[in-house]
Structure 1
């Protein structure tokens, strides 16, 4: 009986110590959030070659920064999410959404009717125009000036669609698609392209840093806009859209626009 009682007491003591250890570990695991729950991590897809929307300033760090990154971080903070960013070619963003390898895309993407067949979009958060960029010693100053020229566009972009539209309307141009905007500018400067069509806000940075290129905004074109993309039926669409509305109302969106596109932009 004494031996049995000793074993029983020993077992109870071990159980109590284990319970205390579990409670202490649980308390430590819950530290850092008000309700003790881990923040859910959302995977964001982007193409980090599109300054000032998303890019890497390699002179400073390998971190992806930009207008869209600030928007994503603000929305995540308001909704209680963490963000993991995946950089990929722009043409791979819609397939990544459709296969649910990413939870959303923030990459200066225009919600075209074709894209809406495969993914859902938030409201427009920023609007811009198309720009024709050419070399200063071979200026192209009108859309008609593209006739007979080799024109570069980013693969999968709204500008690719615009170039194809111009060609379908009878403008004789040769279209070359590349994955990244810097590749387009490089080919333009090297003479492998006569012109490129990119968004005017994106072109601004390249024009400021390259004296040998110039650009004109394409006239008589409808204003295009950027929106956040989600897999079809995602519950995040409504959540993000509500925060975008709040950002427009409370001045946060204007603050970020001025930071990245206005006088404060570097």
Structure 2
């Protein structure tokens, strides 16, 4: 016998499927420490770089719970039901963290900026922090006193490979003389050797760098964020089933004001720094 109501049946079936998917998605927003979605059930495995720096993490110790990102992870773990000793850290290079493919962690935290290009090969949580860029230079650098991107483009720049700092220099500022280094330490060494005139970094990173790593340098200007850089997010293997659960816990921390409290504690910028709009 022919079906007299194919559209009604299709709509009803579609509604049922949508309801089922919505229920499944909601169910995925909760979990327990023995959840099968975890890389190692019973543990929350978190990736970060080696070394790590203040104010993101203190004393090169992610396990300390001190520093903005370390404290955020332990607040997040607590929200998800994990005890402090159920968080284990995996140390990798930044390039290993952002590369496509399988990962030795559930997710990573390392000031990883959410960008469209990266989102094609890895998964992200919602953004937990967004920072302006800071120009770092030594005394006598030609960037000191610059008032426009045109002034800045005339200088010799350096940045670490694979970072949004490098992308900012090339794609936002339009700098043409940019040297690429393996890591931020290499960038600072090049600056001390007179091989480059300046670099850029997120404001909290720049504040630490000019206070501890390269105290003879200073922040000479603040630059606006890259429109393609939505801010820092937790990085997952692409398609990770953990994203809804972690995102729900992160949403709670944001709405409860916990993340802002951590920003106020660890990521304090100097409001008197000069600003170059473009």
**TM-score interval, smaller chain:** 0.7 to 0.9
Q: Provide the residue aligned with 2:221 in structure 1.
A: 216
- Conserved? CA contact 1:56–1:62, under 8 Å: no
- 8 A Cα contact 1:54 1:107, kept in partner: no
Determine which structure has the larger strand proportion and give its number.
1
Residue in structure 2 matching 1:163, options 166, 169, 189: 169
- Tell me whether 239-248 or 223-232 shows the greater mean CA deviation: 223-232
Tell me the TM-score normalised to structure 1 length.
0.73
Whole-angstrom distance in 2 between the partners of 1:188 and 1:73? 36
| 1:216 partner SS | strand
Deviation string 1:153-205 (CA, Å, 9 cap, x unpaired) is 122111111122147x5x4x322222332332232123122111111121011
Any conservation in 1 of the 2:124–2:234 contact (CA below 8 Å)? yes
Matched, 1:89 2:119: no
Name 1:252's counterpart in structure 2. 258
1:31-86: CA deviation from partner (whole Å, max 9, x where unpaired): xxx99xx961132111244432235358xx99685211111111112213422112
TM-score normalised by length of structure 2: 0.70
Q: Distance in 1 between matches of 2:183 and 2:107?
A: 20
- Whole-angstrom distance in 1 between the partners of 2:236 and 2:225: 31
Structure 2: gaps of 5 or more residues: 1-32, 35-39, 270-278
Structure with the greater alpha carbon radius of gyration: 1
For residue 221 of structure 1, report the CA deviation from its aligned partner: 4.8
Contact 2:130-2:231 within 8 A present in 1 as well: yes
What is the rounded CA distance, in whole Å, between the counterparts of 1:104 and 1:199 in structure 2? Answer: 21
Q: Which position in structure 1 is the counterpart of 2:244?
A: 238
Distance, in Å, in 1 between the alignment partners of 2:243 and 2:226 is 28
Residue in structure 2 matched with residue 5 of structure 1 by the alignment: none
Please provide the CA RMSD for this pair: 3.0
CA contact under 8 A between 2:113 and 2:233: conserved in structure 1? yes
SS of structure 2 residue aligned to 1:75: helix
CA distance in 1, matches of 2:63, 2:260: 27
Matches within 5 A, 1:90-239: 90-95=94-99, 98-140=101-143, 141=146, 142-166=148-172, 169=174, 171=175, 173-209=176-212, 210-219=215-224, 221-222=226-227, 224-239=230-245
Match of 1:75 in 2: 76
CA 1:186 to 1:231, structure 2 compared with 1: closer, same or farther past 3 Å? same
1:43/1:104 contact within 8 Å kept: yes
Contact 1:89 1:179 in 2 (8 A): no
Given that residues 68 and 262 in structure 2 are in contact (C-alpha distance below 8 angstroms), is that contact kept between their aligned partners in structure 1? Answer: yes
Deviates more, 1:61-70 or 1:126-135: 61-70
Q: More helix by proportion, 1 or 2?
A: 1
